[in-house]
Structure 1
Amino acid sequence: MTRAALLLLPLLLVSACGGPVQIDAGDLSDADAKACAAFVDELPETLDDLDRVDVQPAGAPGAAYGDPAIVITCGVGQPDGYHAGASCESVAGVDWFVPDGEYTDHAIDVTLTSAWSRPRVEVQIPKDYWPEATAAATGVLSPIVEKHMETVGHCQRL
């Protein structure tokens, strides 16, 4: 190995380690920013036995747990695939939208969205934790969503 390669090796190893998780802050109204801040303040330090990790930017409306990270973001837009009559998972009074195909395919990441609340909360769960973390996340998050978000409807139950 060349001397230059040996000098670059520590840099590559450090950059390969996970740093802070990026959370898209988006443009939130004052009311949504306030609701999201209260929501984030109540999030636990662990989720499904995964420790909370740093997020970027500091003060972002969300949190992350583990590596790969389960990422929770408050104040997201309408999820892809969402439509009137979309399927959902109802947990503790909160309806969570799951895109078609993600709920049954355990080989892919899954994204849950509290599509019938304002502001919306999105939970991205890597396939490494699926399906166990889904129940844990919605069980922990639903009461916090219900407390801080406005319910603006319910999904159609079949």
Structure 2
Amino acid sequence: MPCGPSVAPPYARPVSPARRRAARRLFPLPLALATVIAIAGCSSSDGGAGPAVPSPSGKAAAACRTLHGELPERVNGQDRTELEPASEYTAAWGDPTIELRCGVPRPEVLTPGSEHYNPTSDAAEVNGVSWLIEQRDGGYRFTTTDRAALFLEVTVPDAYAPEVGALTDLAKAVRSALPAGTPPAPKGG
């Protein structure tokens, strides 16, 4: 469904050549092209853009593929959605989307030497899985802190408050597919 009107409003009038020239001076071509591109991007399509696909390797990649097969069809009452591009390292539910990314890098707040390092960051255990909690604009990002070989990230929009509720639906699959243990050490550490 397009995000703009599909017909001209009743108050629209033809524009004189002088007004068109003035509009071109105020509305240069690059801005006009950007506007057209933005409007074209407003219409819905069958497949939505998904989260950035991580690129785990080795044991982490194998664990993510196992997890992908065990993920629930519904999270926080929302149905699983198809992603573009399709990947065994990502999943999503609902609209706005609850996004899962498996095999992500170590969060900066857990990386000694990072300017954002905070060893006392907020964390919680939900149904046997420990999560780092980071508030973001429009929601929360949760990252596992107790899974061997990898980090798993779940982003939940404010629309699903309390956002931590989505983690209860994911806990069984996470516990089953991703062995508990010490996550990977920081690079160079």
- With the length of structure 2 as denominator, give the TM-score of the two structures: 0.63
Counterpart Cα distance in 2 of 1:145 and 1:29: 18
Aligned length in residues: 140
Q: Displacement, 1:68?
A: 0.9
Q: Displacement, 1:67?
A: 1.0
Range with greater deviation from structure 2 (15-24 or 63-72): 15-24
Matching residue's letter, 2:150: P
Counterpart Cα distance in 1 of 2:50 and 2:88: 9
Provide the alpha-carbon RMSD of the alignment: 2.8
Contact 2:72 2:173 in 1 (8 A): no
Greater relative CO, 1 or 2 (CA 8 Å, sep 6+): 1
Pick the structure with greater CA Rg.
2
Q: Displacement, 1:13?
A: 7.5
Q: Percent identity?
A: 26
**Which residue number corresponds to residue 119 of structure 2?**
84
| Correspondences of 1:67-106 after superposition (within 5 Å) | 67-82=95-110, 83-99=118-134, 102=135
Q: Does 1:115 align with 2:150?
A: no
Unmatched 5+ residue regions in structure 2? 1-7, 13-35, 111-117, 184-189
| Correspondences of 1:108-147 after superposition (within 5 Å) | 108-117=138-147, 118-131=149-162, 133-135=163-165, 137-147=166-176
Contact 1:110 1:125 in 2 (8 A): yes
Q: Does 1:16 align with 2:43?
A: yes
Range with greater deviation from structure 2 (41-50 or 24-33): 24-33
**Which residue number corresponds to residue 62 of structure 1?**
90
**Which residue number corresponds to residue 43 of structure 1?**
71
Counterpart Cα distance in 2 of 1:126 and 1:90: 20
- With the length of structure 1 as denominator, give the TM-score of the two structures: 0.74
Counterpart Cα distance in 1 of 2:142 and 2:181: 17
Structure 1 pair 87/32, CA: closer, same or farther in 2 (3 Å)?
A: same
